[in-house]
Structure 1
């Protein structure tokens, strides 16, 4: 029983990523987050099951967030894309400030050094506006690829952003 609990704990907290590149450091959370503990908890509950509790070591074939997601703040279109993703726009979190706080945790906390200098945190008003345009008929893979190319071309994001997961040594 103790071995099962230890294994589950290691998986939950990212030990499954052993052998992968070391995780980049967490970023500084903006003061705009009204409740950082709730924002982190909302991320773990709503996103961590697929994207990993630390934004890495995702069990599903989804993009890694840790040290990378901040690049999507580089243009108004790439920024809006993050909020229009179905699991964000149609989230069970109905309070727009609470969702803004969670997304600020994701982008500034997990994204860390990938956030372009001077990027503004998400606001409740921005969340309310972008939620109305949830991506539903678009290919999410094609949409992501388009925004990744924008981030690389216009914001000098690394070409490795094209990969779902960073390759060690790049």
Structure 2
């Protein structure tokens, strides 16, 4: 039932979820991540309201100079540090979405809905407790560019992200 509701929401918001083929070991992980979203409609609406203005409705931000999410953001979920980095980004940690579960749902939509094949098999969805904990450590004084570079190198070295992950989007 949840899958049918999710499909309807995606169509309503005109968000195309990247396909992960059924035989791909990541398919079950993506399905489980999407199933963990308590209110799929609200998660997508929150993404559109809070993130799509810069990252694009489809997760495609090019040619803007900020990271593209589509088929890429999942790589940032493979270590505790890279996961924490996503939660500590100022626009996430200091989001107007005060409910940690609601924010976790939106982030899980971004990762599992837009991340597609970048989501590694076995990736666990964000939880309200994890979001609440990491929000306390919002990145404020650190150089976001330097922090991103550090975590991107981890994703390339430990998580199988391609070298092109160093770029903000494919082709730059």
- TM-score calculated relative to the size of structure 1: 0.82
Alignment RMSD (CA, Å):
2.1
CA distance in 2, matches of 1:167, 1:129: 36
Match for residue 97 of structure 1? Answer: 101
Q: Pairwise mapping of residues 14-163 of structure 1 onto structure 2 (< 5 A)?
A: 24-25=18-19, 28=31, 29-58=33-62, 60-163=64-167
Residues of 1 paired with 2:169 and 2:37: CA distance? 28
Asked whether the equivalents of residues 70 and 107 of structure 1 are also in contact (C-alpha less than 8 Å), the reply is: yes
In the alignment, the residues of structure 1 paired with residue 103 and residue 70 of structure 2 have an alpha-carbon distance, to the nearest angstrom, of: 19
TM-score by length of 2: 0.81
- Number of residue pairs matched? 149
Structure 1: unaligned runs, 5 residues or longer: 1-11, 15-22
**Higher helix proportion (structure 1 or 2):** 2
Q: 1:113 and 1:36 mapped to 2: Cα distance?
A: 20
* Misfit runs of 4+, over 3 Å: 23-29, 57-60
Gapped regions of structure 2 (runs ≥ 5)? 1-12, 21-29
